[in-house]
A and B are shown apart, each in its own frame.
Chain A
Amino acid sequence: DVKVTQSSRYLVKRTGEKVFLECVQDMDHENMFWYRQDPGLGLRLIYFSYDVKMKEKGDIPEGYSVSREKKERFSLILESASTNQTSMYLCASGGQDYEQYFGPGTRLTVT
């Protein structure tokens, strides 16, 4: 079974704080993704990576950055958290067949 884990299930941060969300997968997948999910908007792709040290912008990269130093780990960074970044953040990994497997999600609240 594919296992994708995320560092926190719930997180509360203050406006302006730097936030790190970490994601680890154990299936040796090349591709990893970060999404946010908001009511009425569905899942929106923030960034993805198809190899170590490679990253590509998704639909909504503004206010976010990512890091992929090792194949199994993909980190999402909010340099200066804002209230409009309150959301559910979902990490996924996938292989060459384009099927994606999701982690349990991190519900981030920025106050």
Chain B
Amino acid sequence: RKEVEQDPGPFNVPEGATVAFNCTYSNSASQSFFWYRQDCRKEPKLLMSVYSSGNEDGRFTAQLNRASQYISLLIRDSKLSDSATYLCVVSTGNQFYFGTGTSLTVIP
């Protein structure tokens, strides 16, 4: 079983739509959680950390559900510039596990 699983998509949504991604993890001892964004042929860039109580950064909201072992990312009012692959990352001690990414295309 993979440490981290994501729906690869692709998600194709119109501008202004709200879209949500989920990511499940297998190790209940996981401690830290993140969302990264990766543009085509570029390196991943940290989008936001995910805190136990949930956190928001502008149009982006991240949530953690420890009981069901998943994290989520909600993007409101999608922009064309949000088109990218979104990677979830789960950390257990010094080990980091990346999901394979969810592809998002925002259509005009």
Contacts and interface: CB of A to CB of B under 8 A. Distances in A.
Nearest to B89: A100
A50 interface: yes
Q: Which of A43, A102, A104, A105 has the most CB of B within 10 A?
A: A43
Interface residues of A, number: 23
Interface residues of B, number: 20
A104 B91 CA distance: 22
B57 interface: no
Contacts, number: 45
B100 A41 contact: yes
A42 B96 CA distance: 12
A94 to B, nearest CB: 9
Contacts of A45: 95-97
